[in-house]
Structure 1
Amino acid sequence: MRAWFRSGTPWIWLNAGALALSLVMVIGLLTLIAVRGFSHFWPADIVQLTVLDGERQTVVMGEQVRSQTLASNVIRDAGVKLEGDDPLITRYLLKVGNRDVFGRDFRWFLQPHVLKREYPKNALALERREWGNFYGLPVRLLEADQVIAEGDAVLEHLPARIKRVNDLYKQIRGIERGAIGDINHRLERIRLDERRLELREVPEYQLEQFRQQAAIERDSLEHDFLELRGELDQLYAAAKRDTLVMKTADGQEVNLNVGIIVNAWAPNQMNVFQKLGHYFPELWHFLTGEPREANTEGGIFPAIFGTVTMVLLMSVIVTPFGVLAAIYLREYAKQGPLLKIIRVSVYNLAGVPSIVFGVFGLGFFVYIMGGNIDQLFYPESLPTPTFGSPGLFWASLTLALLTLPVVIVSTEEGLSRIPSTIRQGSLALGATKSETLWKVVVPLAAPAMMTGLILAIARAAGEVAPLMLVGVVKLAPSLPIDGNFPFIHLDRQIMHLGFHIYDVGFQSPNVEAARPLVYATALTLVALIMVLNMTAISIRNRLREKYRSDSD
């Protein structure tokens, strides 16, 4: 036994077991997140329950979200009357929707109070632009007060009407964010140009000439805006043309404008393949759509776009600074106590809490640097700040500062692994120290640099605390990229997947509705980090093979 321990075999098995346990835990966690999150988009059957509510019976309809088993004495202590002496009671959470009718869209029901359970074939689930989902039975479909279909026939006509409405809203968004957005941008440029001339104290006649030309251009833009406004009014009126009359489980008839309906489906009539045909478009809309209802509905594309843009910009900033700092410390700096202090400071910087970097970024980057940039280059915009407020550039710069020690340490380690014989051979062949460094040593250390960048991306993509201070917001109305010069607007605020998870999970007014989106967004963030890391790893492996073959 002693010989077996001395051979080191037990430690090999211990490491293998720890690695296997870690893999199981990671895979289990990802599976849990995937099941809890992406199952949200599966069209669950609509159940209709007849329940005992006090002394009377009521009928409710919705999707069963989950069940929970509780001790009966806990329920009795809450003041609920129960018959029998069962020690355990099961209760069901039902997503009843219809928030505009009932005031809340999630309700708990005790199993002993459920008198009847049904699955109506013609039950409809409606996804709306506001007020959440609606569950009920179709009564009739109207087009400008003219009945188009009644009863089950509504299901045949409704999808085409919803598609028409969605196409109209795409046109509306295109006009609002395209043509009208361009008009607003040009009007703002005119105002800023006039303010710039006033600050330069140009002669009055030049200022008056500019104002006359600006007035003509403003009139033209206002005329274009009125035409677009009229076109928008027509599109909005066309989108509100149809009306769907639905009956709730308790018998109320509710008039719903088809213009607020995003999607409709009858899950109790769908087979597995039809549900799959519904599931994947819903998942795609989640990844490519925009958030609604305080981020508890809709998609997360702005958050995905903001995360990717910020990480890429951070990588562009941190890589050259980190690599140059490591090269100086390893190749040029004089070895001594001062250099040791600098290295220890770099190592300690890697352990500073991220929120400290956020406070530093807000104070130094935003208020000092951004405020001075506004004073020098954008005085006409003041007192409204341009770069003197949190934005994409300052968030990326803060993350670059946060991940800089990782890149420095990895690059320096890579440089230290290059054998001295390679340097000496290059110098012996007549190359200068600079040529040896940049043409021989640095290329061989490129895989280590990529390793540092991989670690930096993994940390930066998941950070939340510093971003809350330097540029990430709950909801950004527009992406930081558009067709107006300079096309990439580094001063704009952005959304971020990490902050989106925090906001939906801890700040949402509707916890139950937000719960599946927390899991789905978390899995999306993990997948995005994996894609970015795999891309960097692929580049690192290619560099490693390239310079290995060159050295051979």
Structure 2
Amino acid sequence: MTLSAGRGPWIWIGKQAVKQGSLKQWFKSGAPGIWMSGGAVAIAVIMTLGLISVIAVRGLAHFWPADVIEARYAVPGEAPRTIMGEVVQAEEVPLERLKGAGLPVPEDGPKFMTRELIKLGNRELNGSDFAWVVGDWLQDQKKPTDVIALERREWGNFYGYLINVKEDGKIVAEGEAAIPTLRERLDRISELADQIGQLEKVDIGGINYGLERLRLRERGLELDNALDATAQADLAAERSELEARYRTFEDQLVSLRQDFDRDSLTLRDATGRETEVRLANVVHAYQPNAMSTLQKLGFYFAKLWEFLSTDPREANTEGGVFPAIFGTVMMTLIMAVIVTPFGVIAAIYLREYAKQGPLTRLIRIAVNNLAGVPAIVYGVFGLGFFVYVLGGSIDQLFFRESLPSPTFGTPGLLWASLTLAILAVPVVIVATEEGLARIPRSVREGSLALGATKAETLWKVVLPMASPAMMTGLILAVARAAGEVAPLMLVGVVKLAPTLPVNLNYPYLHLDQKIMHLGFHIFDVGFQSPNVEAARPLVYATALLLVLIIAGLNLSAVAIRNRLREKYKALDS
């Protein structure tokens, strides 16, 4: 758009009228760079929000109790068969693709046909949980309200019709009375499972831990030539007490397991085959087609909480991710506690005490370059130095009785945290140095003029004013370290850790123990799972959870930084 004003034509750029003759000056003023920068930021924000939205939709939809369809699948040239399951995905595919899969598609039909991914369940009967079918060949689709979906501890889901409920092989309920009986006994199974878990992990686990400590103490006395008759008698008395408690808990466990394995139920699948399922193997039983929206919403949030608070099962493709959440947060917090003092001390030395010369400049260049070293290199360094050299030396000095089994000479929580600290310390050093450099020289001179020593000036004046910059470095360190996976696979993160590194056994925090991590969990479920289709939604859900945890840690640090910035704003000005 042009307009005449004064001596020559004008053009509109945004809301600004610029004379055509001065267009070159407008470019030289830097305004186009501002527009380009703003546009780039807007595009980056939109792409980030879009990515998070895709992850959230695909991940969170997994917990919704989808309806179960029953249909007759009639493939041209084959006998029709009845299938039952959840529709997971539908897409339009060209005929050439279906022909390449060996399907008898019509030559003169449409160019595209609908293909649907059905979660069939019933793995012991069908051989696989999922199957692709052509949607145009599904006939007489219906959603029976009496279809029951079982979520099991093993073998995935089962879809069918409930025939009866049995106790010790005898029918106790069938027909319409079977559903209330099933729910009642499933609640009982859930309580028994909690009691068995408490006995196995806490009570019996604690006794086994105590017996192992007794064995190590006996071995230590033997190495020190101090295993006399008195020591042997004391150890035998303690061992007898622990074994007596173990037998008591073992009897309780046997009794609970007998009750746990008592009930079963009989179901009929879509083809009419009957299958008996142990109720001890069932986690949830529900009728999705008969549930109202409110009931589905309650089930959805219960499943979401289960995902956050329980252990994984079925090769990590089912259940929750609580051990991975705990391991990620614990390792990140330990890393932050380690990296902050070392990074701050190094920055203080380089800025306040070191002689500014070629050597100092070389150290700064090295620190900046360390921030760009690939993460896997830090993992190799951590494995070679922390695990084998430092951990092996600690075992030789303090854990001789455990050898040749390593205690700290094997990957664990401590070495994973230290490796992440080494990876993130350059970021903290650079950010802290920049914060120290921004403190006005007059502030230091005023403190010294009032009689304070250099150390007092540094501790009481300079460091508090530079604390927002330190928090900025910590934020960047947490953001980088919490999402790293490659180095952790070498120094302490595993596919499945049976117990948490924090428990009631002395010393309560077990730094030598291996942990789970959300980043490695995503890699394992997404690329190492034997059941890819079942694992895919959990990959999205776990990725969203990892993003939220990192964002929560960062927001907490940002809040602390802003509070410190407001506190020392007057001094800075």
Out of 58, 61, 66, the residue aligned to residue 44 of structure 1 is 66
Mapping of residues 293-304 of structure 1, within 5 Å: 293-304=314-325
Answering whether residue 83 of structure 2 is matched by residue 63 of structure 1, we say no
Q: Which residue of 2 aligns with 1:189?
A: 213
> Is residue 77 from structure 1 mapped to residue 97 from structure 2 by the alignment?
no
Partner of 1:236: 257
Deviations 1:502-538 (CA, angstroms, capped at 9, x unpaired): 0000101100000000000000000000110010011
Match of 2:338 in 1: 317
- The CA distance in 2 between the partners of 1:17 and 1:271, in whole Å, is 46
Structure 1 gap ranges (5+): none
Structure 2 letter corresponding to 1:60: I
Whether the aligned pair in 1 keeps the contact of 2:346 and 2:429 (CA below 8 Å) is yes
Are residue 411 (structure 1) and residue 435 (structure 2) matched? no
**2-side partners of 1:283 and 1:314: how far apart?**
29
Residue 283 of structure 1 corresponds to 304
How far the C-alpha of 1:154 sits from its partner, in A, is 2.5
Of residues 45, 53, 68 in structure 2, which corresponds to 1:23?
A: 45
Equivalent in 132, 139, 154 of residue 108 of structure 1: 132
Q: Distance in 2 between matches of 1:160 and 1:421?
A: 76
Identical positions, percent: 57
Give the conservation status (yes or no) of the 8 Å contact 1:97–1:135.
yes
CA contact (8 A) 1:99 1:132 kept: yes
Counterpart CA distance in 1 for 2:370 and 2:26 is 43
1:3 Cα deviation after fit: 3.8
Q: Report the residue type matching 1:147 in the other structure.
A: I
**Aligned pairs for 1:118-133 within 5 A:** 118-133=142-157
Aligned residue identity for 2:55: I
Q: Deviations over 1:371-410 (max 9, x none)?
A: 0000000000000000000000000000000000000000
Q: What residue number does 1:169 align with?
A: 193
CA distance in 2, matches of 1:455, 1:158: 52
Q: Given that residues 166 and 173 in structure 2 are in contact (C-alpha distance below 8 angstroms), is that contact kept between their aligned partners in structure 1?
A: yes
Rg larger in structure: 2
Partner SS for 1:352: coil
Note the C-alpha offset of 1:550: 5.2
Query: 1:194 Cα shift?
Result: 0.9
1:48 & 1:425 partners in 2: Cα distance?
83
In the alignment, structure 1 residue 352 sits paired with structure 2 residue 376:
no
TM alignment of 1:236-385, pairs within 5 A: 236-385=257-406
- TM-fit CA distance, 1:230: 1.4
- CA displacement at 1:432 relative to structure 2: 1.6
| CA deviation profile, 1:154-178 (whole Å, cap 9, x unmatched) | 2223222111101101000101111
Residue 137 of structure 1: how far off its partner (Å): 1.0
Aligned-pair distance for 1:113?
Answer: 2.5
Is the CA contact (8 Å cut-off) linking 2:439 and 2:572 kept in structure 1? Answer: no
Q: Secondary structure at the match of 2:84?
A: strand
* Aligned positions of 1:386-401 closer than 5 A: 386-401=407-422
Deviation at 1:268, TM superposition (A): 0.5
Taking structure 1 as the reference length, the TM-score comes to 0.97
> Is the aligned partner of 1:14 residue 2:36?
yes
What letter is aligned with 2:66? A
* Contact 1:122–1:152 (Cα < 8 Å) also in 2: no
Question: Which letter does structure 2 place at the counterpart of 1:150?
Answer: E
Q: Using the alignment, how far apart are the partners of 1:224 and 1:461 within structure 2?
A: 42
On the 8 A contact 2:312/2:318 being kept in 1, the answer is yes
Q: 2:158 aligns with which of 127, 134, 138?
A: 134
- Structure 2 counterpart of 1:48, one-letter code: E
For residue 497 of structure 2, the aligned residue among 472, 476, 492 is 476
Partner of 1:450: 471
Asked whether 1:402 is paired with 2:402, we answer no
Structure 1: which amino acid aligns with 2:112?
A: L
CA distance in 2, matches of 1:146, 1:185: 41
Query: Aligned with 1:121: secondary structure?
Result: coil
Contact 2:465 2:571 in 1 (8 A): no
TM-score (norm 2): 0.94
Kindly provide the CA deviation profile for residues 68-109 of structure 1, in whole angstroms up to 9, marking residues without a partner as x.
222112222332212342211211100001112221110111
Letter in 1 for 2:88: V
Q: CA deviation at 1:551?
A: 5.6
SS at match of 1:492: coil
Q: Name which of structure 1's ranges 334-343 and 70-79 shifts more when overlaid on structure 2.
A: 70-79
Specify the alignment match of 2:116 in structure 1. 92
Moved more, 213-222 or 381-390: 213-222
Q: Kindly indicate whether residue 181 of structure 2 is the aligned counterpart of residue 160 of structure 1.
A: no
Instruction: Describe the shift of the 1:551–1:412 C-alpha distance in structure 2 as closer, same or farther (beyond 3 A).
Output: closer
The question of whether the paired residues in 1 share the 8 Å contact of 2:220 and 2:401 is answered with yes
Letter in 2 for 1:112: D
Q: Which residue does 1:519 correspond to in 2?
A: 540
Give distance in 2, aligned partners of 1:431 and 1:6. Answer: 50
Structure 2 counterpart SS, 1:367: helix
Q: Give the drift of 1:293.
A: 0.6
**Aligned AA (1:338):** L
SS in 1 for 2:177: helix
Residue in 1 that maps onto 2:8: none
Query: How far apart are the structure 2 equivalents of 1:6 and 1:282?
Result: 59
The one of 143, 146, 158 aligned to 2:167 = 143
CA distance in 2, matches of 1:137, 1:550: 74
- Contact kept, 8 Å, 2:502 with 2:510, in 1: the verdict is yes
Do the aligned residues in 2 keep the contact of 1:138 with 1:152 (CA within 8 Å)? no
1:178 to 173, 187, 202: 202
Q: Which amino acid counterpart does residue 348 of structure 1 have in structure 2?
A: N
Deviation at 1:55, TM superposition (A): 2.0
Aligned mate of 1:198, from 222, 239, 243? 222
Conserved 8 A contact 2:85-2:121: yes
Amino acid across the alignment from 1:28: G
CA distance in 2, matches of 1:106, 1:331: 64
CA distance in 2, matches of 1:163, 1:156: 11
- Secondary structure at 2:80's aligned position in 1? strand
Q: 1:40 and 1:362 mapped to 2: Cα distance?
A: 37
1:2 maps to which residue? 24
- Flag structure 2 segments of 5+ consecutive residues without an equivalent: 1-22
Matches within 5 A, 1:520-535: 520-535=541-556
Question: How many residues were matched structurally?
Answer: 549
Cα RMSD of the aligned pairs, angstroms, is 1.3
CA distance, structure 1, for counterparts of residue 572 and residue 438 of structure 2? 15
Deviation, structure 1 residue 60: 1.0
